[in-house]
Structure 1
Amino acid sequence: MQPAESTPPVHVHAAARNPGIDLLRGLAIVLVVFNHIGLRIPLKKTALADVLPTWLLSRLNYNGYEAVFVFFVISGFLIAGNALRRWGSLGQIDMRAFYARRFARIMPCLLALVGVLSVLHLLGVQDYTITRAGQSLPRAIVAALGLHLNWYEGQTGYLPGNWDVLWSLSIEEVFYLAFPVVCLLTRRRRVLVPMLALLALSMPWTHAALSGNEIWQEKAYLPGMSAIAIGVLGALLASRWQAPPRTLTLLAWLGPIGLVAVMLDGAVLWHLLHDGYLLVLTLSTLCLVLVSQQRQSHGAGRPVRGLGWLRSWGRLSYEIYLSHMFVVFAVVRLFRLSGADQRLGFLWYLLALPLCWLLGAAVERWLSTPCERWLRHRLAKSGYIDTTAFNAAGESGATP
């Protein structure tokens, strides 16, 4: 195999948005929102339990953690795929440009969120005040901006909900801090791929090894990074492989079957595989991502009619993820103050969901996109990046 540096860089525009991947990402962010509402207004305690089985309602409410792992796989696939298109190989990745792009995409919303949460804490607003012993606002800020909020929660306990969502961002961005360095040091695929495969396959063991601390087990770096590594491996595979039609059909069946098995009957899979069920989840996600990418590359990636609303959730997934807890807290607070019948609690989902989308769309329109454009322009003037194909493929990936 030739060294990676011998492959000429590919200076092309980033790929257009993939409707299949946006759809999958939209489903994941809706499950996250359902999870955070469901912890406070469980669907199984509403009138829906009269017409739907309680196990189904519970699965709708309690797949938020699994949804984040879906985001991790998509993130690895998109960001590695975009790097391959820009530089021809991961061994030729431009470290400065890579970091500059990540900074422009992630930091505006992150800084804004931390600033708003800090003000709400100082004002003593309920649901936003850090009160747990051993925790403080300065330390939470350092953990959020220092990309170790997951570790901080594992040591001190859960932070208020709006801070808590940043655990996955810590995992993702630490991975991407190391990613270009590892790519440049290894250079060759035959070195990089086994390392990524080892990280990916370690997921069940690294997850199980932390069972003594529930928070840390859920939010530790290595299991999440394993999911991102699976996405990166998928991007490397997709860059060299055109799936035969029968293989594509097989992947199109295996992906949904695996996801449905995890999302709707995770207890059975847990009984059979224990922590290995996460591999079923992430590999099933990769199957669907590969199918979406292959179909788009063959010009067959037409959007499914009637699901544009869900794809729009996928396009706004990063903004919705960071901002949705403001809506969740407000709606739940209003639900409780109104003395509404618990059996009608499902109706409050109908209020919360469009508000989450509207807030995410407002954040995207008035904050994240303008700031990202401005930062990219400034960084381009400084010679760090070019300004072509701005955010065409939805690079934020996952954090979601």
Structure 2
Amino acid sequence: MDRPRKTSSFRPDIQGLRAVAVGTVLLFHANLSLFRGGFVGVDIFFVISGFLITGILLREAQSTGRIRLGDFYAKRARRILPAATVVLLVTLALTVLILPQIRWESIGIEAIASALYVVNWVFAAGTDYLNAEVAASPLQHFWTLAVEEQFYIVWPLVLVVLLALLRRKARSGTLSDRGAGAVRAARVGVLMILVPSLLYSISYTAIDPAPAYFVTTTRLWELAIGAALAVFAAQVARIPHWLGHTLGWAGLAAIVAATLLFSHSTPFPGYAALVPTLGAAAIIAAGMNGRAEVGVGRLLTLKPMRWIGDISYSLYLWHWPLLVVGTFLLGGELRARYGLLIVAFAVLPAWLSYRFIEKPFQNWPWLKRSVRRSLLGGVSLMAVTVVCASLVYVTPGKLNPEYDTAGTTQKLGAEALTDDFANDDLATFTDAGKPVDKVEGGFTPSAINARKDNTVVYALDCHLGSPEATPKIDGCIFGDPEGDVSVVLIGDSHAANWAPPYIALAEKYGWRLRITTKASCGFSGSSQADANGGEYTTCNEWSATSFDQILEESPDLLITANRFTRAAWPVEPTREKARLAYADDLHDNLQRMNDAGIATLVMNATPRMTTDVPECMSANPGHLTACATPREDAFGPGSGYVKRTVKGLSDADVIDMSNWVCPDADACAAVVGHVVVWRDSAHFTETYARTLAEPLEAKLRQSDLARSVLW
């Protein structure tokens, strides 16, 4: 067996572990399907950071009895800020030079938040359904730096407070040994962070995994695991060498297993994050007591591994903006071979950054001699980023004023298609519905404002997000609350699509209209699958509760609209069977409504564009036909599912507005009659939806069922 070498404060195996961490992240981001769980690399980084930072703090506390916060933060500023600032500024430059203006505002905000190391909270707030199809930010990877920096602020302060409390005990005679006191304070502190954060991570991940992935409170325990290793290092180092070797290889196996077996459908962090974090902890523990270069350390301390570990920080910073910009230039799709080429190219700026930015700033004597200079230098770098990011944020609004329709005599949106609203099939299509490269006279809203042009049901919380299960009633009744005709509009975000014209009709005719919708959740009577194929429990609860509420209020008419490519849970052997099962479950719900004397209308499937329309328009202002979608691609099999839901029902009908949404025989346009139709790839702008009120009324009047109930 290899004999352990003399203990050293430098751990070459940890440099190799950094290489493992950044390697898994890069391969995952390069879209290699084999490494679909490569996101766990950031969890390895968290454990490493917790271990190293706590070791630094603990050694100072043991030797001096205190922690010099200014000196600690000055070292962090010299280590982190120079390279990060350069990447932020280069990313802002690439944004202005290459990316469409619709992204500038959000990237500007994210750059400001990145410079202030709070961007993880910005990304957590942006995980709602409205942003589900928005392209990834080139600064999204900065969330991990934000979590670490917040830990670097909180953890030393916790130790300072605990050390102060223990010094009081020492003066009273209950504690005399300074070194033991520092260790005791650290042990108390690490448990104060680790246990509550782990429990919260497990709980919040189960409820709402998307924001749970980013927030600091679900991640602190991962850094605390590394901190615990440093705090209990004396005990861990005494484990037998055979056990150390076993732990090292077991830890590497755990990391490999997580990388290969986890995927985007794995609820994370929560319980699952224990696998890579404990794996990383096992490797660090294995290298203690002189074992850094034996066992698994023999692999980790190979020169290539250590070299990648040396540049891992810069490599992590550079690879992601290059991938995002590259993906845009490649038409929005990143194949693995191109992903590998980009991450391989990222090694060059990473090495240059390490060689000429990281190391020089860390070791610059003029800065190192003065805590004040280091901190002021760090603040100055942050300020430069904030100023540049603010300019990027405000520029699109100045360059793209929204098209002003006030006082115009032009008909807008669906109103421009035909004066004969009885012509529901639009047999003779007009130029207003045909895709064109440029819209003479402009359009509204502007491309950069289209995403925000959303129906009021979102602002009123009548549309629930993924974690919510209780339908809201107060504030979600439109028209006349005491009206003689009672209508309920229910479904997923495609039902919210139709809220504006139905609200307009409710106000016009005095209906009592209640709207209740939920993200990615159809009005089905059985279990539904979420986007990852798991059971969508809050959806099922919402659907069941909504059904009972509707039976209790007994409306005259139920209207539902849903995305008809959803799937029942458990997912059938094929996606097609799962979708058919979902349609059958929706049919059963409508049957029960009919049995209770409630008439039902189903809106035909909404077409789905093949591009994120506002971004496409922003990127192609003089070539808007690039943002159109062939009609057969846009509609797909949706209409077949809709017909299946009403087949055989005695009191149900389908309202088909397809030709008003896509009023061209060949393709669905981005703009119709001076109005942008889409705020993403499958949802209307509120401006366009409002113009559908009159043609929707004509359609309803052509339905014997709808006409008999509503008029």
Same fold (TM over 0.5): yes
Once residues 88 and 384 of structure 1 are traced to their aligned partners in structure 2, the CA distance between those partners, rounded to angstroms, is: 27
| Structure-1 residue corresponding to 2:114 | 144
Q: Alignment partner of 1:209: what SS?
A: helix
Asked if the contact 2:66/2:160 (under 8 Å) is kept, the reply is yes
User: CA separation of 1:237/1:382 partners in 2, compared to 1, >3 Å: closer, same or farther?
Assistant: closer
| Structure-1 residue corresponding to 2:160 | 184
Following TM superposition, by how much is the alpha carbon of 1:209 offset from its aligned partner in structure 2, in angstroms? Answer: 3.3
Once residues 379 and 303 of structure 1 are traced to their aligned partners in structure 2, the CA distance between those partners, rounded to angstroms, is: 34
User: CA separation of 1:21/1:379 partners in 2, compared to 1, >3 Å: closer, same or farther?
Assistant: closer
| Structure-2 residue corresponding to 1:126 | 99
Asked if the contact 1:203/1:279 (under 8 Å) is kept, the reply is no
User: CA separation of 1:81/1:219 partners in 2, compared to 1, >3 Å: closer, same or farther?
Assistant: same
Alignment of 1:321-336 (within 5 A): 321-329=316-324, 331-332=326-327
Once residues 67 and 207 of structure 1 are traced to their aligned partners in structure 2, the CA distance between those partners, rounded to angstroms, is: 18
Following TM superposition, by how much is the alpha carbon of 1:216 offset from its aligned partner in structure 2, in angstroms? Answer: 1.6
Letter in 2 for 1:62: G
Asked if the contact 2:251/2:281 (under 8 Å) is kept, the reply is yes
Q: Alignment partner of 1:116: what SS?
A: helix
Residue 213 of structure 2, aligned match among 203, 212, 218: 218
Following TM superposition, by how much is the alpha carbon of 1:89 offset from its aligned partner in structure 2, in angstroms? Answer: 5.8
Tell me, which stretches of 5 or more residues in structure 1 are unaligned? 1-13, 45-56, 386-400
Asked if the contact 1:162/1:322 (under 8 Å) is kept, the reply is no
Q: How far does the alpha carbon of each residue in 1:148-206 deviate from its partner, in whole angstroms, 9 at most, with x for none?
A: 10111222347853211111111100111122211111124334313312432345432
Residue 380 of structure 1, aligned match among 337, 354, 369: 369
- Are residue 255 (structure 1) and residue 248 (structure 2) matched? no
> What is the identity percentage for the equivalent residue pairs of Structure 1 and Structure 2?
23
Once residues 297 and 20 of structure 1 are traced to their aligned partners in structure 2, the CA distance between those partners, rounded to angstroms, is: 5
| Structure-2 residue corresponding to 1:32 | 25
- Are residue 22 (structure 1) and residue 15 (structure 2) matched? yes
Q: Alignment partner of 2:369: what SS?
A: helix
Tell me, which stretches of 5 or more residues in structure 2 are unaligned? 1-7, 164-180, 375-711
User: CA separation of 1:201/1:246 partners in 2, compared to 1, >3 Å: closer, same or farther?
Assistant: farther
Q: How far does the alpha carbon of each residue in 1:235-256 deviate from its partner, in whole angstroms, 9 at most, with x for none?
A: 1222454332233133224313
| Structure-2 residue corresponding to 1:165 | 141
| Structure-2 residue corresponding to 1:11 | none
- Are residue 231 (structure 1) and residue 226 (structure 2) matched? yes
- Are residue 360 (structure 1) and residue 350 (structure 2) matched? yes
Once residues 274 and 355 of structure 1 are traced to their aligned partners in structure 2, the CA distance between those partners, rounded to angstroms, is: 30
Asked if the contact 1:29/1:317 (under 8 Å) is kept, the reply is yes
RMSD of the alignment, in Å? 3.5
Once residues 261 and 233 of structure 1 are traced to their aligned partners in structure 2, the CA distance between those partners, rounded to angstroms, is: 24
User: CA separation of 1:373/1:78 partners in 2, compared to 1, >3 Å: closer, same or farther?
Assistant: same
Once residues 293 and 208 of structure 1 are traced to their aligned partners in structure 2, the CA distance between those partners, rounded to angstroms, is: 30
Alignment of 1:194-213 (within 5 A): 194-211=188-205, 212-213=207-208
| Structure-1 residue corresponding to 2:84 | 110
Letter in 2 for 1:26: A
Q: How far does the alpha carbon of each residue in 1:19-51 deviate from its partner, in whole angstroms, 9 at most, with x for none?
A: 32122211111111122221xxxx44xxxxxxx
Alignment of 1:73-112 (within 5 A): 73-88=47-62, 92-112=66-86
| Structure-2 residue corresponding to 1:8 | none
Bigger CA radius of gyration? 2
| Structure-2 residue corresponding to 1:62 | 37
Asked if the contact 2:138/2:321 (under 8 Å) is kept, the reply is yes
Letter in 2 for 1:279: L
Following TM superposition, by how much is the alpha carbon of 1:114 offset from its aligned partner in structure 2, in angstroms? Answer: 2.4
| Matched length | 340
Asked if the contact 1:255/1:288 (under 8 Å) is kept, the reply is yes
| Structure-1 residue corresponding to 2:290 | 295
Q: Alignment partner of 2:80: what SS?
A: helix
Once residues 127 and 277 of structure 1 are traced to their aligned partners in structure 2, the CA distance between those partners, rounded to angstroms, is: 37
Following TM superposition, by how much is the alpha carbon of 1:300 offset from its aligned partner in structure 2, in angstroms? Answer: 8.6
Give the TM-score normalised by structure 2.
Answer: 0.43
| Structure-2 residue corresponding to 1:243 | 239
User: CA separation of 1:257/1:82 partners in 2, compared to 1, >3 Å: closer, same or farther?
Assistant: same
Q: How far does the alpha carbon of each residue in 1:27-77 deviate from its partner, in whole angstroms, 9 at most, with x for none?
A: 111111122221xxxx44xxxxxxxxxxxx2xx13321x110110000111
Once residues 301 and 75 of structure 1 are traced to their aligned partners in structure 2, the CA distance between those partners, rounded to angstroms, is: 20
Once residues 55 and 145 of structure 2 are traced to their aligned partners in structure 1, the CA distance between those partners, rounded to angstroms, is: 20
Flag the structure with higher helix content. Answer: 1
Q: How far does the alpha carbon of each residue in 1:266-312 deviate from its partner, in whole angstroms, 9 at most, with x for none?
A: 47x969x9932212321221010111233357999975399432332
Asked if the contact 2:222/2:277 (under 8 Å) is kept, the reply is yes
User: CA separation of 1:30/1:254 partners in 2, compared to 1, >3 Å: closer, same or farther?
Assistant: closer
Letter in 2 for 1:162: P
Q: Alignment partner of 1:161: what SS?
A: coil
Letter in 2 for 1:113: V
Letter in 2 for 1:176: Y
Residue 309 of structure 1, aligned match among 295, 304, 311: 304
User: CA separation of 1:201/1:255 partners in 2, compared to 1, >3 Å: closer, same or farther?
Assistant: farther
Asked if the contact 2:15/2:301 (under 8 Å) is kept, the reply is no
Once residues 215 and 201 of structure 1 are traced to their aligned partners in structure 2, the CA distance between those partners, rounded to angstroms, is: 22
Q: Which has the higher contact order (CA 8 A, sep 6+)?
A: 1
Q: How far does the alpha carbon of each residue in 1:311-365 deviate from its partner, in whole angstroms, 9 at most, with x for none?
A: 322111110111112432355456559x9xx9xx444344233212222101111
Once residues 67 and 76 of structure 2 are traced to their aligned partners in structure 1, the CA distance between those partners, rounded to angstroms, is: 13
Letter in 1 for 2:356: W
Once residues 262 and 357 of structure 2 are traced to their aligned partners in structure 1, the CA distance between those partners, rounded to angstroms, is: 38
Once residues 365 and 129 of structure 1 are traced to their aligned partners in structure 2, the CA distance between those partners, rounded to angstroms, is: 35
User: CA separation of 1:243/1:298 partners in 2, compared to 1, >3 Å: closer, same or farther?
Assistant: farther
Q: Alignment partner of 1:295: what SS?
A: coil
User: CA separation of 1:136/1:73 partners in 2, compared to 1, >3 Å: closer, same or farther?
Assistant: closer
Q: Alignment partner of 1:88: what SS?
A: helix
| Structure-2 residue corresponding to 1:48 | none
| Structure-2 residue corresponding to 1:388 | none
| Structure-2 residue corresponding to 1:348 | 338
User: CA separation of 1:257/1:191 partners in 2, compared to 1, >3 Å: closer, same or farther?
Assistant: same
Asked if the contact 2:138/2:320 (under 8 Å) is kept, the reply is yes
Following TM superposition, by how much is the alpha carbon of 1:127 offset from its aligned partner in structure 2, in angstroms? Answer: 7.1
Once residues 154 and 9 of structure 2 are traced to their aligned partners in structure 1, the CA distance between those partners, rounded to angstroms, is: 24
Q: Alignment partner of 2:239: what SS?
A: coil
Following TM superposition, by how much is the alpha carbon of 1:116 offset from its aligned partner in structure 2, in angstroms? Answer: 2.4
